[in-house]
């Protein structure tokens, strides 16, 4: 089983925390969609005829382009790949793009999961991070989606400078009234080439202190666990049976094909990524050239990926997988480090798997750093 990711790089405005490749210029939408469809044709053998289990439209803001474009891409995938009968097809959407017309057309074309970028329900914070919607629009959009889709996810961001514990608590309480099957909650990270990074360098803003971030993270966990959400990855909470199949594929290191400008692909041995430029991407595809860069993964890189990804999930770091695939026994080779982390109550061993404890769940980067080879 494999997945296909489609990158739609268009946005109405760029959020102050965003470092993804996006553009505000929609002049070449039609040409880009044709190039995406052609890349699908050129790369139809990339996944070795594996059955496609998931399709994910990300960006950018795929919800802002015509649903007909989305439908055309899905049709092209079905024409060139073997598609699972119970495939999960997700579209990322902004609240201001949620209309009855869009919801019904997406469903008609096969979309059966929506990932809604709410981030916060505080209007001052929405303005501060440069989102294109307000609280009223967000609430109305969640209500509309819940009336027409069984499977949807709400994105939240915590650790925003100025977003205190009580504000976050109010956000969560309001959102869970709609009983969303899935909630993704991300700690704000300030990346280079973002407005927030420039503001940070110029002392316009300050990073939220670590104690407050931990407090907010624990708040999220505690409220959502009481509401019977399962934390299956450090940022991902779901009701039973509603894990994101697509994202779970990344964490389990399944093969996936990334299509569109800046999209990444993985075939088990190589990682590759497309050029982050719409015009150059379109130009290359017009010449039947796939404009990507490729990197072969060394044994060490593969081991470290399994460690870094595994410790973030409920499945943990699987020593059996390491031994079978890479002939590396982490329990044996790193016994002293593992014993110390167990004594510090940061991890525990469940059969062949290393998992983070509740205490360790807020120190995942530290644990991974200690276990990397």
Q: What is the CATH number of the domain that holds 303?
A: 1.10.10
Per cent of the chain over pLDDT 90 is: 94
What the block records as the tokens of 116 is 């809604």
Residue range 229-252: mean pLDDT, rounded: 97
Number of domains, the chain: 2
Residue 269 located in a structural domain: no
Residue 346 located in a structural domain: yes
What the block records as the tokens of 112 is 């059966």
- pTM score above 0.85: yes
Residues 129, 65 share a domain: yes
Query: Which among 78, 94, 114 has a CA at the least distance from the CA of 10?
Result: 94
DSSP symbol at 24: S
Name the helix (H) or strand (E) containing 295.
strand 292-296
* Domain span holding position 16: 2-251
Residues 151, 44 share a domain: yes
Residues 100, 8 share a domain: yes
Residues 112, 234 share a domain: yes
Q: What is the CATH number of the domain that holds 27?
A: 3.20.20.70
Residues 328, 229 share a domain: no
Q: How far is residue 39's CA from residue 33's CA, in Å, rounded to a whole number?
A: 10
Q: Is the pLDDT of residue 210 over 90?
A: no
Q: How far is residue 82's CA from residue 3's CA, in Å, rounded to a whole number?
A: 11
Q: Where are the strands (E) in the chain, listed by range?
A: 2-8, 52-59, 83-93, 113-119, 152-158, 182-187, 230-233, 236-238, 256-259, 264-266, 270-274, 292-296, 317-318, 347-350, 353-356
pLDDT computed for residue 353 by the predictor: 96
Q: How far is residue 200's CA from residue 56's CA, in Å, rounded to a whole number?
A: 33
Domain endpoint, select from 190, 217, 251: 251
Residue 288 located in a structural domain: no
Sequence-separated (6 or more) residues with CB below 8 Å from residue 39: 259, 260, 285, 290
> What order of strands is seen across the sheet that includes strand 113-119?
230-233, 236-238, 182-187, 152-158, 113-119, 83-93, 52-59, 2-8, 256-259, 264-266, 270-274, 292-296
State the DSSP string of 237-280: EE-TT---HHHHHHHTT--EEEESTT-EEE-SSEEEEE-S-HHH
Residue 276 located in a structural domain: no
Query: Which among 342, 353, 363 has a CA at the least distance from the CA of 315?
Result: 353
SS3 content of the chain, % helix, strand, coil (to 5): 45, 20, 35
pLDDT computed for residue 152 by the predictor: 98
276-318 per-position pLDDT tens digit: 999 999 999 999 999 999 999 999 999 999 999 999 999 999 9
Is residue 228 within 8 Å of 237, Cβ to Cβ?
no
Residue range 189-213: mean pLDDT, rounded: 92
pLDDT computed for residue 49 by the predictor: 85
Query: Which among 219, 103, 207 has a CA at the least distance from the CA of 171?
Result: 219
Q: Is 181 helix (H, G, I), strand (E, B) or coil?
A: coil
Burial of 61 (0-12, 13-18, 19+ CB in 10 A): buried
Residue with tokens 């907010």: 216
Residue 357 located in a structural domain: yes
Q: Is 296 helix (H, G, I), strand (E, B) or coil?
A: strand
DSSP symbol at 313: B
What is the total residue count of the chain? 373
Residues 22, 150 share a domain: yes
Residues 197, 56 share a domain: yes
Residue with tokens 């990524």: 273
Is the previous residue joined to 203 through a cis bond, with omega within 30 degrees of 0?
no
Residue range 46-50: mean pLDDT, rounded: 91
Residues 121, 29 share a domain: yes
Residues 336, 241 share a domain: no
87-109 per-position pLDDT tens digit: 999 999 999 999 999 999 999 99
Q: How far is residue 308's CA from residue 328's CA, in Å, rounded to a whole number?
A: 15
Residue 283 located in a structural domain: no
pLDDT computed for residue 249 by the predictor: 95
Q: Is 198 helix (H, G, I), strand (E, B) or coil?
A: helix
Residues 22, 136 share a domain: yes
Residue 278 located in a structural domain: no
Is residue 40 within 8 Å of 73, Cβ to Cβ?
yes
Residues 93, 32 share a domain: yes
155-179 per-position pLDDT tens digit: 999 999 888 888 899 999 999 999 9
Within 13 Å, how many C-alpha atoms sit on residue 102's CB side? 20
Q: How far is residue 356's CA from residue 351's CA, in Å, rounded to a whole number?
A: 14
pLDDT computed for residue 1 by the predictor: 80
Q: Is 61 helix (H, G, I), strand (E, B) or coil?
A: coil
pLDDT band at 84 (very low <50, low <70, confident <90, very high): very high
Residue 112 located in a structural domain: yes
Residues 207, 65 share a domain: yes
Is residue 182 within 8 Å of 244, Cβ to Cβ?
yes
Residue range 121-125: mean pLDDT, rounded: 95
Domain endpoint, select from 187, 220, 251: 251
Domain endpoint, select from 192, 221, 251: 251
């Amino acid at each position: 089983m494999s997945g296909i990711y489609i990158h739609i790089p268009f946005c109405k405005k760029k959020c102050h925390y965003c470092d993804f490749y996006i553009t505000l210029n929609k002049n070449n939408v039609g040409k880009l969609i044709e190039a995406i469809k052609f890349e699908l044709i050129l790369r139809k053998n990339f996944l070795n005829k594996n059955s496609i289990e998931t399709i994910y439209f990300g960006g950018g803001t795929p919800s802002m382009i015509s649903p007909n474009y989305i439908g055309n891409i899905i049709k092209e995938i079905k024409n060139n790949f073997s598609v699972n009968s119970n495939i999960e097809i997700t579209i990322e959407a902004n609240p201001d793009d949620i209309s009855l017309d869009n919801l019904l057309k997406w469903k008609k074309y096969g979309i059966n999961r929506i990932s809604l970028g709410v981030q916060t329900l505080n209007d001052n914070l929405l303005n501060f991070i440069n989102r294109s919607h307000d609280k009223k629009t967000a609430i109305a959009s969640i209500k509309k989606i819940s009336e027409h889709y069984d499977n949807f996810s709400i994105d939240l961001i915590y650790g925003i400078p100025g977003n205190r514990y009580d504000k976050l608590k109010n956000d969560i309480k309001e959102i869970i009234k709609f009983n969303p099957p899935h909630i993704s909650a991300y700690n704000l990270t300030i990346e280079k080439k973002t407005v927030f990074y420039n503001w940070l360098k110029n002392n316009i803003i300050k990073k939220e202190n670590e104690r407050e971030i931990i407090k907010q993270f624990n708040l999220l966990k505690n409220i959502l666990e009481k509401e019977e959400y399962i934390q299956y990855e450090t940022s991902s909470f779901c009701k039973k049976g509603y894990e994101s199949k697509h994202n779970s594929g990344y964490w389990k290191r399944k093969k996936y094909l990334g299509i569109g400008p800046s999209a990444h692909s993985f075939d088990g041995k190589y990682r590759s990524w497309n050029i982050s430029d719409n015009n150059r991407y379109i130009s290359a595809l017009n010449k039947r050239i796939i404009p990507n860069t490729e990197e072969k993964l060394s044994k060490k890189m593969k081991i470290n990926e399994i460690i870094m990804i595994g410790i973030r999930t409920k499945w943990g770091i699987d020593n059996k997988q390491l031994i079978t695939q890479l002939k590396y026994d982490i329990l044996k080779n790193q016994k002293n480090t593992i014993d110390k982390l167990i004594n510090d109550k940061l991890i525990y061993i469940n059969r062949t798997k290393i998992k983070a404890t509740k205490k360790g769940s807020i120190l995942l980067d530290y644990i991974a750093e200690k276990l990397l080879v």
